[in-house]
Amino acid sequence: MRCFGQLTPYEFTKIVCHMHILVLGGGGREHAIVKALKLSPKLKHISCAPGNPGIAQEATCYLTDPTDVRKVLDLAQRIKPDLTVIGPEGPLAAGTADVLRRYDFLVFGPSREAAQIEKSKVFSKKFMEKHGIPTAPAKVCGSAEEVMQATAEFSKPWVLKADGLASGKGVSICKDEVELKSAIIEFFEKKTFGAAAQKVLVEKYIEGNELSVMALVSGGKYELLPVSQDYKRLLDGGKGPNTGGMGAYAPVKNGSKVLKKIEEKIIIPTVEGLKKDGLEYRGVLYFGIMMEGSEPYLLEYNVRFGDPEAQVLMPLLDGQWADVLSAVAAGKLPKLKWKRQAAVCVVIAAPGYPEHPKKGIRIQIDRKLCSSSSSNYILHASTASHRGYFTNGGRVLNAVGIDKSLKTARKKAYDIIKGVEMLESHYRKDIALVKGE
Ligand code: GLY
């Protein structure tokens, strides 16, 4: 079997000169990735599975379920991509990267074994503890009774996390016994999260400022991306329920100052831990960090670009993502350079999001106001098309603005929203509203 980590420089150059890239996934993150990859002069063709109506304007889309490993392999054998970029966690946890590699495809994304650090909260907590990475103390519970016992050991509020993948919804922060009881009912009686909540972590709540830190990891080394800020709560001022993320911006002011400590305490031990534990990693690793004062704690790992963080990181690279992702997939790690610019992404959500997002609501996008420029544009995240666009999930569209100044990038993102009509849609008004900007 040939191994892409051992390609000769000639073979590697040949692959990256007339590239056909396949992106797996179909959200706003994947639209941002497709858009960024398309800027490469070496790109010959771009495909996406399953994609979405926005991506379909830029790539050939295939209605293949990216978590169905057999079908993805069939597709890859048919269209023969030179590089496959796996966007979401589902296909990674299903082992898509492993199977494609077994058949000699070049893949950006970690192995199924390594993807456990996102797939299982219990696995990742044990990994953090084993490698001395600062994180909140936690207990693993398998029943309502065990949760009640565990909460006696921590003060309020309590954090309950489903062990498995729950589309970003398996975390409950319970401020009192009433909320704790209803979370227990969701996890153990209604079984809202199914098998993902067979085990539940009860964790000490850490209060502070949350940051999204990402690094490309390959060959036992890492390269950092600019620090970004996600807005997880539904409403302005950090109020309302948790969501998958209502917006993001990058770079975070003074982010590089806190990075040193985060690197020492969290990133270096993680990358070394992966190596020690024999977990093959060629992809991006996301560290959900909570800064308690000046001390960083690791809340979670994700084995993918954040969404909507990818939407603000993709435009900031001073270089070609196609080259960078190919190199990482081949076990190399190029030095990254970043533009002196800021990017802002505002998520436009469907009515009812996050609990019961309404599907099928017509979306009108004013072409004049939203005509794509390189400094502000609309990305599709969860839309359907049938003689026009309709909502097809919770986080529907992303408005992105880019500029030298964060303030102007923010204005560009909000300006473009004026060209979007979607009945009862909603978005936060305080994304990237930073003091002193
Ligand atoms: N925005 C957080 C995440 O992608 O998990």
When pLDDT is cut at 50, 70 and 90, the band that residue 2 belongs to is very low
Q: Looking at residue 383, what is its pLDDT?
A: 97
Q: How far is the CA of 245 from the centre of ligand 1 (A)?
A: 6
Question: Which residue CA neighbors atom 2 of ligand 1 most closely?
Answer: 306
Mean pLDDT score, 327-335: 96
Mean pLDDT score, 110-121: 96
Q: How far is the CA of 309 from the centre of ligand 1 (A)?
A: 7
When pLDDT is cut at 50, 70 and 90, the band that residue 13 belongs to is low
- Residue 369 pLDDT exceeds 80: no
Mutation test of ligand 1: which of 225, 302, 304, 305 has the most ligand atoms closer than 8 Å to its C-beta?
302
Q: Could you report the per-residue pLDDT of 342-362, keeping only the tens digit for each?
A: 999 999 999 999 989 999 999
Q: Could you report the per-residue pLDDT of 14-28, keeping only the tens digit for each?
A: 555 689 999 999 999
Distance of CA 291 to the CA centre of its chain: 20
Question: Which residue CA neighbors atom 3 of ligand 1 most closely?
Answer: 306
Mean pLDDT of all residues belonging to the chain: 93
**Domain segments of the chain: what residues?**
4-111, 137-204, 207-329, 342-422
Check: CB of residue 40 under 8 Å from CB of residue 16. Answer: no
Q: How far is the CA of 244 from the centre of ligand 1 (A)?
A: 6
Nearest-atom index, ligand 1, CA of 230: 1
What is the Cα–Cα distance from 231 to 349, expressed in whole angstroms?
A: 13
Q: Is 228 in the pocket of ligand 1 (CB under 6 A)?
A: no
In the DSSP assignment, the letter for residue 338 is B
Respond yes or no on whether the N-terminal peptide bond of residue 251 is cis (omega within 30° of 0).
yes
Which amino acid appears at position 167 of this protein? S
Mean pLDDT score, 112-131: 96
For domain 4-111, say whether CATH 3.40.50.300 is its number.
no
- Residue 104 pLDDT exceeds 60: yes
Tokens representing residue 209 in the block = 């400022």
Mean pLDDT score, 293-321: 97
Task: Answer with the residue of higher pLDDT: 280 or 271.
Answer: 271
When pLDDT is cut at 50, 70 and 90, the band that residue 189 belongs to is confident
DSSP-H helix ranges across 8-164: 9-17, 28-37, 69-79, 89-93, 96-102, 112-119, 121-130, 144-151
Mean pLDDT score, 395-421: 97
Q: Looking at residue 399, what is its pLDDT?
A: 97
When pLDDT is cut at 50, 70 and 90, the band that residue 12 belongs to is low
Nearest-atom index, ligand 1, CA of 305: 4
334: nearest Cα among 316, 312, 318, 314: 318
Q: Looking at residue 11, what is its pLDDT?
A: 59
Q: Looking at residue 327, what is its pLDDT?
A: 97
pTM of this structure: 0.93
The CATH topology of domain 207-329 is D-amino Acid Aminotransferase; Chain A, domain 1 (3.30.470)
- Residue 109 pLDDT exceeds 60: yes
431: nearest Cα among 308, 327, 336: 308
Mean pLDDT score, 130-146: 93
The domain at 342-422 falls in which architecture?
A: Alpha-Beta Complex (3.90)
Q: Could you report the per-residue pLDDT of 222-259, keeping only the tens digit for each?
A: 999 999 999 999 999 999 988 999 999 999 988 888 99
What is the Cα–Cα distance from 140 to 213, expressed in whole angstroms?
A: 26
When pLDDT is cut at 50, 70 and 90, the band that residue 170 belongs to is confident
Which amino acid appears at position 277 of this protein? D
Which CATH number does the domain 137-204 belong to among 3.40.50.2300, 1.10.287.3510, 3.40.1710.10, 3.30.1490.20? 3.30.1490.20
Nearest-atom index, ligand 1, CA of 232: 1
Q: Could you report the per-residue pLDDT of 208-220, keeping only the tens digit for each?
A: 999 999 999 999 9
- Residue 410 pLDDT exceeds 80: yes
What is the Cα–Cα distance from 111 to 93, expressed in whole angstroms?
A: 8
End-to-end, the C-alpha distance of the chain in Å comes to: 54
Q: Looking at residue 1, what is its pLDDT?
A: 42
Q: Is 309 in the pocket of ligand 1 (CB under 6 A)?
A: yes
- Residue 313 pLDDT exceeds 80: yes
Question: Which residue CA neighbors atom 4 of ligand 1 most closely?
Answer: 306
